[in-house]
Structure 1
């Protein structure tokens, strides 16, 4: 079994004169599990329940997509919970470092569990992906990193790939139309980070690194865009502070 070492997130602990834009490179890969656990409220709950939700929607002879799979946490949850025959997981990420480490994690999972769904991990751009018929598509904190002008087209292609009875599960950081609500939830999120040991310097430098890379939408924007993409119903199933997850039905 491959041993995968995890390191604590100290990427932004030292002051730098100019903070570069955030990139999912090897440095991020090494600390990613710690980073996301300490930065995203409710992340473990979302990931594990994505597997539970997928078990309801998964259908034989279809693909289950994990788009923007990073280290494969969602893929692993899908394989733990889905027992539908003749379906498989396709995990896509455009970071070679993430893809390499994801394969290591999945190899380790293979050695611990039997009768897991087959999985393919692909280094590719999800915007250029030719989708196969799918019963479940997971976009777990991925759409927010896509150019806003390209989001509707991507969701439309996902909708076209979904078979009847399938679902898209979309998890995102939210912004809020009401200024006071937005400010309150943003401050509570910063409190969450502080409670998890991040310093003011780390918080500030991470914000500078990610503000040009990650563009969150409001819940209203997500709903309107999903309906415009051809989905018939959008059901929020989870929210913790300014992070939420939605089920979109075809």
Structure 2
């Protein structure tokens, strides 16, 4: 499948605007995410496998911060449980509209409930699977605990939360190493120094990364019984939290 190439930061910009998931980002998002997040394809594939393992009949599976629906589509491919409803939510109107159009274009059955809403305001009910795939990092720090507590309350016993995040590191040497290696990864994907630098500035006050220790403590405080990293590639990781 052909995707538009991400060249949003290829030319010098006089002023670096704050990163937003607007139409310009939507137009290049599949290319951007694949070339920016190490292991993204593997994470999406495994989300489908985990959804197949944990989904239950007459339950809900949520993709919170769904963007163009990669996780929701992976879940749909693998879920065999009867009457299991997939709910995909994103606050970006441009993302939601493109996701809807893509489903219509490929003739997919409308088996995914797509909603344009702030995930902090969406009710979570009878959830067997909840996915926050590189979403929590864009939520204000002060709101993260309440969001995770709401998710926990809305989950069925035995449910799973899959949380993928860009990590920060408490050790300064580890932080410098992982940031440097991520930049090398992006260069290998064809991004220039200028693109990397300008994108970093655009995300500086928007994407707020935290350490695994911080994530684990918050998840355990919300009520989850067990939290572990199942995948990590430099400073990008995905965690499994079990209820």
TM-score range, shorter chain: over 0.9
Q: In 2, are the aligned partners of 1:237 and 1:247 still within 8 Å (CA)?
A: yes
1:84 aligned onto 2:81: yes
CA shift in 2, pair 1:109/1:246, >3 Å: farther
1:172 maps to which of 162, 165, 173: 165
Q: In 2, are the aligned partners of 1:82 and 1:117 still within 8 Å (CA)?
A: no
1:102 maps to which of 81, 95, 99: 99
Runs of 5+ unmatched residues, structure 2? none
1:196 aligned onto 2:189: yes
Rounded to whole Å, the distance in 1 between the matches of 2:46 and 2:189 is 23
Q: In 2, are the aligned partners of 1:39 and 1:193 still within 8 Å (CA)?
A: yes
CA deviation after TM superposition for structure 1 residue 109, in Å: 4.9
1:6 aligned onto 2:3: yes
Tell me the equivalent position of 2:228. Answer: 235
Runs of 5+ unmatched residues, structure 1? none
CA deviation after TM superposition for structure 1 residue 118, in Å: 2.1
Corresponding residue SS for 1:175? coil
Q: In 2, are the aligned partners of 1:22 and 1:213 still within 8 Å (CA)?
A: yes
Tell me the equivalent position of 1:224. Answer: 217
CA deviation map 1:87-137 (0-9, x unaligned): 0100000000000111123334544xxxx7821000000011122211000
Tell me the equivalent position of 1:20. Answer: 17
Q: In 2, are the aligned partners of 1:89 and 1:117 still within 8 Å (CA)?
A: no
Rounded to whole Å, the distance in 1 between the matches of 2:149 and 2:71 is 22
Q: Give me the CA root mean square deviation.
A: 1.3
CA deviation map 1:52-71 (0-9, x unaligned): 01111100111100000000
Tell me the equivalent position of 1:73. Answer: 70
Rounded to whole Å, the distance in 2 between the matches of 1:245 and 1:162 is 19
Corresponding residue SS for 1:236? strand
Rounded to whole Å, the distance in 1 between the matches of 2:161 and 2:111 is 20
1:151 aligned onto 2:148: no
Tell me the equivalent position of 1:161. Answer: 154
Corresponding residue SS for 2:167? strand
Corresponding residue SS for 2:9? coil
Q: In 2, are the aligned partners of 1:140 and 1:170 still within 8 Å (CA)?
A: yes
Judge which range, 101-110 or 185-194, deviates more: 101-110
Q: In 2, are the aligned partners of 1:76 and 1:106 still within 8 Å (CA)?
A: no
User: Alignment length, in residue pairs?
Assistant: 243
Normalization by structure 2: what TM-score? 0.97
Corresponding residue SS for 1:77? helix
1:23-42 to structure 2, matched below 5 A, reads: 23-42=20-39
CA shift in 2, pair 1:109/1:169, >3 Å: farther
CA deviation map 1:71-96 (0-9, x unaligned): 00001100111111110100000000
